[in-house]
Amino acid sequence: MATHRLIGSDKQPLPGARSIGPADPKERLEVSVVVRRRGSAALADRVERIATGGAELHLSREDFAQQFGADPADIGRVRAFATSHGLAVVQEDAARRTVVLSGTVTQFNSAFGVNLERFEHDGGSYRGRTGPIHLPDALQGIVEAVLGLDDRPQAKTHFRVLDQSGIAGSRAASTATTFLPTQLAALYDFPQGTGHGACIGIIELGGGYRPADLQTYFKRVGVALPTVSTASVDHGKNQPTGQANGPDGEVMLDIEVAGAIAPAAKLVVYFAPNTDAGFLDAVTTAIHDATNKPSVISISWGGPESSWTQQAMTSFDQAFQAAATMGITVCVASGDDGSSDGVSGGGNHVDFPSSSPHALACGGTSLKAASGKITSEVVWNDGASGGAGGGGVSATFALPTWQQGIKTTDSHGAKSPLQKRGVPDVSGDADPQTGYSVRVDGTDAVFGGTSAVAPLWAGLIARINAAKGTSTVGYINAKLYKNPAAFNDIKQGNNGNFSAASGWDACTGLGSPDGKKVSKIV
């Protein structure tokens, strides 16, 4: 049977990882196959018009599935391919354009022309592959991504914990100032509201929450306990580890920030495995959830663009296009490792999925306040050990129309025209030294990181959507760039190789929100 390489599917081992032999041939796994959508050109045109137009262009989830979901014939071809290799079809979802297949290592090796191995690295071990995926020519142009053969951790959390025993970054913890999310909402002049009637989807790739902690926390904040429910994706579930510095910290931070700002909104936490397949499946499940219908999604996980395959990044970006078409805002943390995004070598890297032009990339600031007013706000940068807001220029995504004419400012003050997608778009308090008071695994703590900024913005959007009633603001990037006066412009500080400047910069984007002004322009 003639085969071809699946474009963008090449994988390399994690840095420092070594193969210790073939994967167990009898090991069972599930793989997500993403097929092409109908009407791709029409969808791209619609999203472009939505960016500069209004809610009247939004589609319901049902109408979107009919117009832009997968062709049933394409799903049928994947089903026939699976059957020919002895693979079972676990799930078919035309709206998500996803077919989930189950089988053994031996069967998947044969079906996709790969050699699955076990790799060891400093962080543990994983099942992986090297090189591209191969598909029969009969599926050429039909299958756009095959994810899940490799189960390496795809993303990391973007929070930083204030070490209250002594030092956080380069400064003593005794100098720290902490805020409840409601206090930050007041400092940023968020419009009044509770988010009643809105739904916030929260993506999590591990860990969990304890209801007793939520009860204690929201009582202390002085707001009603939000309604929090979970959705299992690819067998993920609410499973607290008992380690506040691990994924539990991410889960609790996201719920507590979003819930404190929009306590009457419904919060749905989508738990999935931390793999490329699990991450994408969680995102697409949330976007196409016709039961809970989230109008805003908060994502605080990610990794450098260089750690992703092109097929995965394209699939995420397409999912965010779908979200834009259905009036869903996707808020994504821009990372906590400054302009390098944690990649060795000193070069510039941005974090994905925040670098998708269809996401609202959320960067970080350090904020001081007195008497209920902001007294200073600068770029968050605690140095190499303490973290800094992620930002820079994508190596993958083209320059969006709404960022044309913008310039970056490097650490020496030199300005250069932005050539590709710039990150972040917006920002908010992310410095652990001026961080968020939270409760995780029975312990009160102070967290920072851009992980807090994504749910902060999600809470703001939920308040705005609730006030709008039947309509939602959705894909707001273009409107924000047309109205820079709706932001507190951050003009001091750097995140490594980029410096703050008047207007947009690659450290804090347009700046932190003046919430009431934002509500009037979106």
- Find how far residue 140's CA is from the centre of its chain: 29
Look-up: residue for tokens 């939004």?
Answer: 58
Contact 430, 453 (CB under 8 A): yes
CB 113 within 8 A of CB 3: yes
Residue 382 annotated among the catalytic residues of the structure? no
How many whole angstroms separate alpha carbon 387 and alpha carbon 431? 8
Beta bridge partners of 113: none
CA 94 – CA 35 distance, rounded (Å): 9
Contact by Cβ (8 Å): 265, 141: no
144 is annotated as an active-site residue? no
Catalytic residue among 451, 499, 512, 519: 451
Whether residue 132 has a cis bond before it, omega within 30° of 0: no
Token digits of residue 439: 């409760």
Q: How far is Cα 411 from Cα 430, in angstroms, rounded to an integer?
A: 21
Active-site residue, selected from the candidate residues 254, 276, 317, 425:
254
Q: Which of 93, 204, 213, 250 is catalytic?
A: 250
CA distance 129 to 151: 10
Told to judge if 512 belongs to the known catalytic residues of this protein, a careful annotator would answer no
What DSSP string describes 305-331? GGGS-HHHHHHHHHHHHHHHHTT-EEE
| CA–CA separation, 452 and 333 (whole Å) | 8
Q: Which residues are catalytic?
A: 250, 254, 451
